[in-house]
């Protein structure tokens, strides 16, 4: 399996293998700064991955990047929950009822939240994640439609576009802290285009042998 097979380059603006750091492999040069994060083969699906034990302040911070409002975007990653707390966040660039977006666990289901001043909308996957199991997660924003794929199964809903913001883009916790997620992440990729359902299926098929 090659990098080119897993991550075709069209629209790719951030790629993080999380082998021993949060450096970008897409060519965009958007590197993350990690605090309290463990990199190990124990926590990776392809070689090493990154792990947070949900201690306050454990986070990877990428600064003010990956903002999206009316445009399209795709977020892709491998995720394995250790234990989950309802409301914990593993990816964020926003503030509740303020601006931006974030990914939250709601009863072990992945939820995407879009925020504007005084309002927010939620789209959740129907798939319940089990602790200790790797999942292929892709979230696609196409206009005001959000589709969340878990191991190739997609669920869609409608949002209002998130308000533009200058918040930090973070992994493993809320942009401002306070909702840490006890989980492992690997192969995080971000695209500034809406990938197709066929692309998601192809990526999942390439990983199938690694996700049993």
What pLDDT sits at residue 5?
60
| pLDDT at residue 1 greater than cutoff 50 | no
Cα–Cα dist 145/139, whole Å: 10
What is the average pLDDT value for the chain, to the nearest integer?
A: 92
- Considering the entire predicted model, what is its pTM? 0.94
pLDDT (tens digit per residue) in 10-66: 899 999 999 999 999 999 999 999 999 999 999 999 899 999 999 989 999 999 999
What pLDDT sits at residue 85?
73
Tell whether domain 11-210 is in CATH 3.10.580.10. no
What pLDDT sits at residue 212?
45
CB 200 within 8 A of CB 59: no
């Amino acid at each position: 399996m090659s990098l080119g097979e897993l991550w075709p380059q069209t629209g790719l603006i951030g790629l993080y293998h999380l082998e021993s750091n949060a450096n970008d492999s897409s060519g965009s040069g958007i590197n993350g700064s990690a605090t309290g994060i463990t990199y190990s083969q124990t926590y990776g699906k392809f070689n090493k991955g990154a792990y947070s034990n949900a201690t306050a302040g454990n986070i990877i911070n990428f600064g003010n990047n990956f903002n999206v409002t009316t445009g399209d975007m795709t977020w892709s990653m491998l995720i394995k929950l250790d234990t989950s707390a309802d409301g914990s966040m593993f990816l964020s660039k926003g503030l509740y009822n303020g601006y931006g977006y974030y990914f939250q666990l709601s009863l072990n289901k992945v939820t995407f939240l879009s925020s504007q001043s005084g309002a927010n909308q939620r789209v959740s996957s129907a798939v319940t994640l089990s602790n200790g199991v790797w999942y292929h997660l892709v979230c696609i924003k196409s206009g005001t439609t959000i589709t969340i794929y878990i191991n190739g199964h997609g669920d869609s809903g409608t949002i209002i576009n998130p308000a533009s913001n200058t918040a930090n883009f973070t992994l493993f916790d809320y942009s401002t802290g306070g909702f840490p997620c006890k989980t492992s992440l690997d192969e995080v990729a971000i695209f500034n285009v809406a990938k197709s359902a066929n692309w998601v299926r192809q990526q999942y098929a390439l990983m199938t042998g690694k996700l049993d």
